[in-house]
Structure 1
Amino acid sequence: MSTEEEVQDKESQLLEACITTLVGPFREKYDEKWDEEAFWEAVENFKAESKKIGYEDPFEVLGKGTFVSFEAIRDILKTGPKPCFREGWKSPYTGEKVDILAIVESLHHASGPKFEGKERIVIVDFWATWCGSCLEIAREFSEIFEKYAGRISVIGLNNDDMFDRQREHNVEKTRTFLEAKNEIIRYSSYIDTEDHLARDTIFMKIGYEGIPCAVLLVDNEVRYAGRARLCIEDPLEEVLKELYPIEE
């Protein structure tokens, strides 16, 4: 193992120790659940782990990110995640009407079948090529698209620079990416316009500040909007039972 690989291995060990010893146990203990004494006990345990790994000062690695001190870590954990990332959060966009066909027709079609607006149920998936979890959920959306063909349409809306205007907005580059991922993303895929039509018209109204982000539409009405993974399953099942009840 080269010196560079050894350094990377040590850093990985330190980051893993930070997550398992210090961050993980307190991730859900924000607000009134916070335990100050338990946190500082965990800090001492983490310091001991850091020394075993080879770091007297763990912040020579952690300081490269947002964790610049134990007090900073405490404040971040104690404050907890933004409301949109908490269990039970509901998007203010729920119940709104969206002319999804009109929006999609103004975007760049990239791959998969073109959306024609025939299905009553539509899942809109906001994603980016740099988002690993977006590709993971894409597999599930492809399965849903194929399982419920004719009942559910899935539309992937790509916007690589949706959070950062400095990122490149390159339609052809994204099309090439989709060609390489055609076994994973098998539903309708579109690329947002350079002036962020889909982002500004839909995503910015949802209130969810991350991707993958899903919007569930029924007859153009928003039934669910927010975190894609798992959270969309219950509202989708409810809608399917509502529109396509099992005949006894």
Structure 2
Amino acid sequence: MSTEEEVQDKESQLLEACITTIVSPFREKYEEKWEEEAYWEAVETFKAESKKIGYEDPFEVLGKGRFTSFEAIRDILKAGPKPCFRKGWKSPYTGEKVDILALVESLHHASGPKFEGKERIVIVDFWATWCGSCLEISPELSDIFEKYAGRIAVIGLNNDDMLDRQQEHSIEKTRTFLETKNESIRYSSYIDTEDHFARDFDNEVRYAGRARFCIEDPLEEVLKELYPVEE
């Protein structure tokens, strides 16, 4: 094993120890469920693990990311995830109605079939080229699009600079990116306008939130309602 590989292996061990010891055990213990004493006990356990791996100062590695101190890690965990990532969260858009066809016609078509408003169920997936977790769901959405053709429309809506105005809003750049993803992104793809016309979009909205792991139940419910199986 080369020196570079050894360093990478040590860093991986440290990160795994951090996640196992002080991140995962407290991931669901945010806000009023927070356990301060237990957290600092876990920190001491992690410090010992860090020394065994070969790091007197674990932030030699952890500092390369968003973790700059044990206090900073605590504050992040104690605050908890954003509301939309919490169990039982419901979007305030649920129950509202939006003219999706009118919305889509205002956007830039990038790839895949154009949405014509024929399907009774529409999945709109907001994503960005820099968002790894967004891209992970693409093959699954493509499978849904093909399996339920004529019943479910899937629209990918790119918002590269939605969360960071320093990000470049480039239609051509996004289209070029999509050309490299034509095997995994096979559904209708659009790009938001520069003034983010679709940013606050969320038709009646039946579910708004994370797609991965969360979309199956509400989707199955609507499918049974709109397309009941005849016995």
State the TM bucket, normalised to the shorter chain: over 0.9
Deviation at 1:181, TM superposition (A): 1.0
Matches of residues 149-164 of structure 1 in structure 2 within 5 Å? Answer: 149-164=149-164
Distance in structure 2 (CA, Å) of the matches to 1:141 and 1:129 = 16
Matched with 2:227 is 244
TM-score between the two structures when normalised by the length of structure 2: 0.93
How far has the Cα of 1:55 moved from its partner? 1.1
Kindly indicate which of the two structures has a greater share of residues assigned to strand.
1
Deviation string for 1:103-158 (max 9, x for gaps)?
Answer: 11111111110000111110000011111221221111111111111111000001
Normalization by structure 1: what TM-score? Answer: 0.87
Q: Spell out, residue by residue over 1:225-245, the C-alpha distance to the aligned partner (whole angstroms, 9 max, x if none).
A: 111112111111110111111
How far is the alpha carbon of 1:64 from its aligned partner?
3.3
What's 2:187 paired with? 187
Instruction: Tell me how far apart the structure 1 counterparts of residues 172 and 122 of structure 2 sit (CA, whole Å).
Output: 26
Once the two structures are TM-superposed, the CA of residue 198 in structure 1 deviates from its matched residue by: 1.3
1:138 paired residue number: 138
CA distance in 1, matches of 2:135, 2:75: 32
Give the aligned CA root-mean-square deviation in angstroms.
1.6
Q: How does 1:68-79 map to 2 (within 5 A)?
A: 68-79=68-79
Unaligned runs of 5+ residues in structure 2 are none
Distance in structure 2 (CA, Å) of the matches to 1:192 and 1:75: 34
Secondary structure at the aligned position of 2:9 is classed as: helix
Distance 2:132 2:31 in 1: 30
Q: How far apart are residue 34 of structure 1 and its match?
A: 2.7
Distance 1:241 1:104 in 2: 26
Paired positions, count: 231
For 1:3 and 1:242, the matched residues in 2 are separated by 60
Counterpart code for 1:181: K
Counterpart residue identity of residue 198, structure 1: A
Q: Distance in 2 between matches of 1:31 and 1:161?
A: 30
Query: Aligned ranges for residues 223-242 of structure 1 at < 5 Å?
Result: 223-242=206-225
